[in-house]
Amino acid sequence: MAPSELQDLIVVEVPGSIAGAYCAKVFADRGAHVMLAGTSTLADHQSLYLHPNKTRCELDAIDWSTVDVLIESSAPDPLTPLPLADSEHLVRVQISPFASSGPYATWKSTDLVDYAMSGHSYLYGHPDREPLRGPPHQPAVASGLFGFIGAMAALFARERLGHGQTVDVSHMQVMVALHQVTLLRWQMSQSVARRLGNRYTGPGQPNGPYPCKDGWVSIACVTTPQAEALLAVTGLTHLMDHPDISSPLDFQSHPHVLDEPLNEWLLTQTVDDVVELFQAMRIPTCPLRSPLELLDDPQLIAREFFEPLPGTNAKAPRSPFTMSHRQPRSDEFPTWQPGTDLGVDDGPLTGLRVLDLARVWAGPLCARILSDLGAEVVWVEAPWSRGPSEVPQSVLDAAMYFAASESGERQWNRNTHFVKYSLGKQSLALDLQSEAGRAAFERLVPQFDVLLENFSTRVMPQFGLGEGRLHELHPGLIYLTMPGYGRSGPAENWLAYGSTVDSHAGLSNLIGYADESPWKGGVAWPDPVAGLHACCAVLVALWSGSQNDSSGLTIEAAQFESTVAAIGDQIVEAQLVGPAVPNGNRQAGFVAQGVYRCRDNASTSGDAWIAVSVPDADALAALSTVIGAELSGDDHDQLDEIVSSWASERDAMDLAHELQAAGIAAGPILIAPSLLADPHLAARNAWVTVDQPDVGVFTAPLTPIRLSHSSITVRAPAPTFGQHNHQVLAAAGFATEEIASLFEQGVIVDAPPG
């Protein structure tokens, strides 16, 4: 039976971009009645994936008094909203490249320009070659997910305000918000994160794709134990005797020392043997798949992830999150309802209480968004979760996101990665491995509406806190679990990192130079994609619980499946048209597209670039006029030479303004300092600046959704370690002496042990 959580909602999608279509798809996949008002402008394979479960209609046939949500989107052009008479209850979602206000509001943008102007392109590619765009359409997918989150937030606010509002989402702002540590590194250490070649730009080595004798694997060794295990099973422990290597962490600074012998060893092995061996040693490793190969992936087959597309011989991903273990509504555990007596600064989710057990990026991002929407989020941390009490200087230097790369008096509060994703949250540092800690946690569960975690599938049951026990403690609980590969299937227990899952899920096969592919992504894209889908799932569950007669349930949102769903159109295209072959920054169907070196400036150190998209003959004629040379779309190489020569003596941002004025989609490849100083982002109020204890003043992106009548913002600095131990436990009914006893036993802490 198809999901029906949103069956009471009526949604109209005006055909525009992939972003709007993906936003509407999430509604349709969860049972909303979605009407597609007009003719789709998407390619056939995109329409097949993005428009099922939608009905066709004409705009003039719509009774707007019955519609809950209107989704409008546009790309590459700016959005021109429909001239509708005011409809007091309507939620209007508007998604476009640069949104409705700010210096770039009238600019055009394509996928390539989205990646460039958000700074992501600077992380993709070889350091001595032009930067690459990331996987196709991912800025639009992420913008569509934020559009859905904004729409649901506005619907909850409507329950309180009595009227709808406008939701404004920008591709650029979305992608800027989905950097992991790029902006932190610049602020903390004045280090500009840049592309490192065919590897993830984060920590660890190896951390990228490697060929075997029958295919490719993706490996990520981020911790010292993982690197030591890899050296042992490959017979390469002697590399520790190399004069440049004193610790496995040093391989990141000297990658050739490990890569050359590791490549030789891997070329004697099969993909399946390497994955089996390395996963047994708890080294994150997976096969590298193409979109077409995903149809035969054993994990996805076991999970019945693909569904037939009506009228074709093709298959497409199902909704990437599932809901089960539904409980009837209980008066003892009432379902959260949108508040009615709230202040103007309160968010749409004010009153919602969330227990956040998540780690790293995907789960913390989901919880951070819920916090920005107004929820009270308690981050439950293990005593050792922020590392030991002392950290070697080599670790600080490698990370580059500790303030001034110094440990300070309390290094555990200075890791700005933790800080960024815990803004607005409370911290409870609680040892769940102890009996007293688990007992305390069980007393907390009934006080909260949502519990989320992204552990491996074995962890919560090992704590005695599987979904059965959690719903026994709180029948109305929404329990979100975010395992890497899901709670069943042959890969259920695989160790999964975003920087390996991206290759398994097909992304690496969609990136690369014409003479070199597959290519590793510059960011661990599966993390934000999984976090956004998970946030959507929580909002769906909350809506269903507030409108219907059920409350408690389990949401399963596997990172692997979220990532595969995000390239669903590429999977359909591979079946019906043929697999896409990466060709640098060029785009099939475009007259021309590329990234061209520009004049250097003080901040770019010889690495300044502009992205230019020429989709059709009109754009080519406009580019010819700007350059002052007759350009032909028949010879892309020759065109690239002319544009490269012309751009090389010009400033990238000045050139972007000139090209945009001529109606050509173009933008500079921005880097961390230029993003933080960008006038459009400043005009859009894209940032929050906090005076963070133990760190000082720093700036982070806000959740990239603007609501016209509701507040989405950070309401407090990030918590110091265990800052809210007493507050959280006292609110749950713990006596002062009980709390003191837990502290004396080391069950709750405010500093790491040791």
In sequence order, what E strands does 589-653 have? 592-597, 609-614
Kindly report whether the peptide bond that precedes residue 483 is cis, defined as omega within 30 degrees of 0: no
Residue 382 has pLDDT above 60, yes or no: yes
pTM of the model: 0.96
Report residue 549's pLDDT band, with 50, 70 and 90 as the boundaries.
low
Q: Which residue shows structure tokens 């979109």?
A: 291
| CA–CA gap between residue 337 and residue 349 (Å, rounded) | 9
Helix (H, G, I), strand (E, B) or coil at 27: helix
Q: Which residue shows structure tokens 């005593």?
A: 383
Residue 487 has pLDDT above 90, yes or no: yes
CB of 368 within 8 A of CB of 535? Answer: no
CATH number for the domain whose boundaries are 583-673: 3.30.1540.10
Residue 309 has pLDDT above 80, yes or no: yes
Mean pLDDT (the chain, rounded):
92
Which tens digits make up the pLDDT trace of 81-115? 999 876 789 999 999 999 999 999 999 999 999 99
Task: Quote the longest CA-to-CA distance of the chain.
Answer: 82
User: Residue 129: CB partners within 8 Å, gap ≥ 6?
Assistant: 513
Helix (H, G, I), strand (E, B) or coil at 460: helix
Cα-based angle 586, 589, 595 (whole degrees, multiple of 5): 20
Which pLDDT does position 117 carry in this prediction? Answer: 98
Which pLDDT does position 451 carry in this prediction? Answer: 97
- Our CA dihedral for 14, 17, 18, 21, rounded to 10 degrees, sits at -10
Of the candidate ranges 46-55, 595-604, 645-654, the one whose mean pLDDT is the lowest: 595-604
User: Residue 465: CB partners within 8 Å, gap ≥ 6?
Assistant: 432, 438, 441, 442
Exposed (0-12), middle (13-18) or buried (19+): which is 705, by Cβ within 10 Å? buried
Which pLDDT does position 320 carry in this prediction? Answer: 95
CB neighbourhood size of 744 (10 A): 9
Residue 328 has pLDDT above 70, yes or no: no
Which pLDDT does position 738 carry in this prediction? Answer: 95
CATH number for the domain whose boundaries are 10-173: 3.40.50.10540
Which pLDDT does position 308 carry in this prediction? Answer: 95
Which pLDDT does position 250 carry in this prediction? Answer: 86
Which pLDDT does position 600 carry in this prediction? Answer: 87
Helix (H, G, I), strand (E, B) or coil at 504: helix
Which tens digits make up the pLDDT trace of 445-468? 999 999 999 999 999 999 999 999
| CA–CA gap between residue 491 and residue 483 (Å, rounded) | 11
User: Residue 84: CB partners within 8 Å, gap ≥ 6?
Assistant: 64, 70, 90
Instruction: Identify the H or E element spanning 381.
Output: strand 376-381
Report residue 652's pLDDT band, with 50, 70 and 90 as the boundaries.
very high
Residue 331 has pLDDT above 70, yes or no: no
Per the structure block, which two tokens stand in for 512? 């690369």
| CA–CA gap between residue 731 and residue 738 (Å, rounded) | 13
Which pLDDT does position 2 carry in this prediction? Answer: 67
Q: Which residue shows structure tokens 């409507």?
A: 158
Which pLDDT does position 201 carry in this prediction? Answer: 85
Which tens digits make up the pLDDT trace of 394-414? 777 777 788 877 878 898 898
CB of 345 within 8 A of CB of 711? Answer: yes
Report residue 335's pLDDT band, with 50, 70 and 90 as the boundaries.
confident
Residue 315 has pLDDT above 70, yes or no: yes
Which pLDDT does position 730 carry in this prediction? Answer: 96
User: Which one is predicted more confidently, 214 or 580?
Assistant: 214
> Residue ranges per domain, the chain?
10-173, 583-673
Q: What is the DSSP letter of 720?
A: P
Q: What is the DSSP letter of 249?
A: G
Which pLDDT does position 311 carry in this prediction? Answer: 87
Residue 1 has pLDDT above 60, yes or no: no
Cα-based angle 532, 355, 495 (whole degrees, multiple of 5): 60
Q: Which of 490, 421, 444, 518 is nearest to 733 (CA)?
A: 444
CB neighbourhood size of 215 (10 A): 14
Per the structure block, which two tokens stand in for 340? 């009615």
Which pLDDT does position 551 carry in this prediction? Answer: 67
Phi, psi of 218 (to 5 degrees): -120, 130
| CA–CA gap between residue 66 and residue 569 (Å, rounded) | 31
Residue 584 has pLDDT above 90, yes or no: yes
| CA–CA gap between residue 402 and residue 160 (Å, rounded) | 41
Residue 325 has pLDDT above 80, yes or no: no
Give the CA distances from residue 531 to residues 100, 494, 673, in Å, rounded to whole numbers and listed in that order.
26, 19, 26
Q: Which of 287, 292, 307 is nearest to 485 (CA)?
A: 287
Residue 32 has pLDDT above 70, yes or no: yes
CB neighbourhood size of 466 (10 A): 17
User: Residue 713: CB partners within 8 Å, gap ≥ 6?
Assistant: 345, 347, 372, 688, 702
| Span 698-703, average pLDDT | 94
CB of 570 within 8 A of CB of 91? Answer: no
Of the candidate ranges 203-217, 382-396, 719-733, the one whose mean pLDDT is the lowest: 382-396
Which amino acid is it at 331? D
Of the candidate ranges 105-114, 197-206, 529-538, the one whose mean pLDDT is the lowest: 197-206
